[in-house]
Amino acid sequence: MTLQERDKKHLWHPLKQHKTHPESLAIVKAKGCILTDENGNEYIDTISSWYTCMFGHCNDFITSKVYEQMQTLDQVMFSDFTHKPAIELSENLIKILPNNQNRIFFNDNGSTAVEAGIKMALQYYFNLGEKRSTFIAFENGFHGDTFGAMSVSGLSVYNGPFEDFLMQVERISVPNGENHQEILEQLKKIVSENNVAGFIYEPLVQGAAGMKIHDTEGLNEILKFCKNHNILTIADEVMTGFGKTGRNFASDFIETKPDIICLSKALTGGLVPLAITSCTEKIYEAFLSNEMAKGFFHCHTYSGNPIACTAANATIQLLQTDEIQQNIKLISASHQQFKDKISKHPKVKTARFQGVIFALDLDTKMQRYGSLRDKLLNFFMKRGVFLRPLGNTIYIQPPFVITQEQLQKVYSTIEESLEIV
Ligand SMILES: *Cc1c(COP(=O)(O)O)cnc(C)c1O
pLDDT tens, residue by residue, 9-28? 999 999 899 999 999 999 99
Phi then psi dihedrals of residue 332, to 5 deg: -60, -45
Q: Give residue 1 CA to ligand 1 midpoint distance, Å.
A: 34
Atom of ligand 1 nearest to the CA of 149: 10
Sheet containing 103-107, strands listed edge to edge, beginning at the edge strand earlier in sequence: 103-107, 275-279, 260-263, 232-236, 196-201, 134-138, 169-172
Q: Give residue 207 CA to ligand 1 midpoint distance, Å.
A: 9
Residue whose Cα lies nearest atom 6 of ligand 1: it is 110
Ligand 1 lined by 273 (C-beta under 6 Å): no
Torsion of CA 17, 22, 28, 29, to 10 degrees: -40
Q: Is 371 annotated as a binding residue?
A: no
Q: Where are the alpha helices (DSSP H) in 14-59?
A: 48-51
Are the C-beta atoms of 45 and 386 separated by less than 8 Å? Answer: yes
**Segments of the chain with pLDDT less than 50:** none
Are the C-beta atoms of 265 and 52 separated by less than 8 Å? Answer: yes
Please tell me the distance from the alpha carbon of residue 145 to that of residue 148, in angstroms, as a whole number: 8
Q: Give residue 292 CA to ligand 1 midpoint distance, Å.
A: 31
Ligand 1 lined by 114 (C-beta under 6 Å): yes
Ligand 1 lined by 153 (C-beta under 6 Å): no
Please tell me the distance from the alpha carbon of residue 365 to that of residue 368, in angstroms, as a whole number: 10
Q: Is 251 annotated as a binding residue?
A: no
Q: Give residue 239 CA to ligand 1 midpoint distance, Å.
A: 7
Please tell me the distance from the alpha carbon of residue 125 to that of residue 396, in angstroms, as a whole number: 40
Where in 271-346 does DSSP place strands (E)? 275-279
Q: Give residue 80 CA to ligand 1 midpoint distance, Å.
A: 28
Q: Give residue 169 CA to ligand 1 midpoint distance, Å.
A: 18
For residue 338, count other CB atoms closer than 10 A to its CB: 22
Ligand 1 lined by 111 (C-beta under 6 Å): yes
Parse the chain into domains and list their residue ranges. Answer: 62-320, 323-365+373-392+403-415
Identify the DSSP state of 178.
S
Residues 6+ apart with CB under 8 A from 289: 127, 295
Atom of ligand 1 nearest to the CA of 114: 10
According to DSSP, the residues that pair with 261 across neighbouring strands are 235, 278
Query: Is 323-365+373-392+403-415 the same fold as 62-320?
Result: no
Ligand 1 lined by 357 (C-beta under 6 Å): no
Q: Give residue 238 CA to ligand 1 midpoint distance, Å.
A: 6
Question: Does residue 71 sit in helix, strand or coil?
Answer: coil
Atom of ligand 1 nearest to the CA of 145: 9
Ligand 1 lined by 238 (C-beta under 6 Å): yes
Q: Is 236 annotated as a binding residue?
A: yes
Are the C-beta atoms of 117 and 200 separated by less than 8 Å? Answer: yes
Please tell me the distance from the alpha carbon of residue 395 to that of residue 317, in angstroms, as a whole number: 27
Ligand 1 lined by 154 (C-beta under 6 Å): no
Q: Ligand 1, from 143, 214, 240, 267: best to mutate by most atoms within 8 Å of Cβ? A: 143
Residue whose Cα lies nearest atom 11 of ligand 1: it is 143
Q: Is 384 annotated as a binding residue?
A: no
Identify the DSSP state of 257.
P
Ligand 1 lined by 143 (C-beta under 6 Å): yes
Say which CATH topology domain 323-365+373-392+403-415 has: Aspartate Aminotransferase, domain 1 (3.90.1150)
Q: Is 227 annotated as a binding residue?
A: no
Residue whose Cα lies nearest atom 5 of ligand 1: it is 110
Q: Over the stretch 248-268, which tens digit does the pLDDT of each residue have? A: 999 999 999 999 999 999 999
Atom of ligand 1 nearest to the CA of 111: 9
Domain 62-320 in CATH 3.40.50.300? The answer is no
For residue 117, give the nearest of 374, 361, 296, 350 by alpha carbon.
296
According to DSSP, the residues that pair with 105 across neighbouring strands are 277
Q: Give residue 241 CA to ligand 1 midpoint distance, Å.
A: 11
Q: Over the stretch 333-353, which tens digit does the pLDDT of each residue have? A: 999 999 999 999 999 999 999
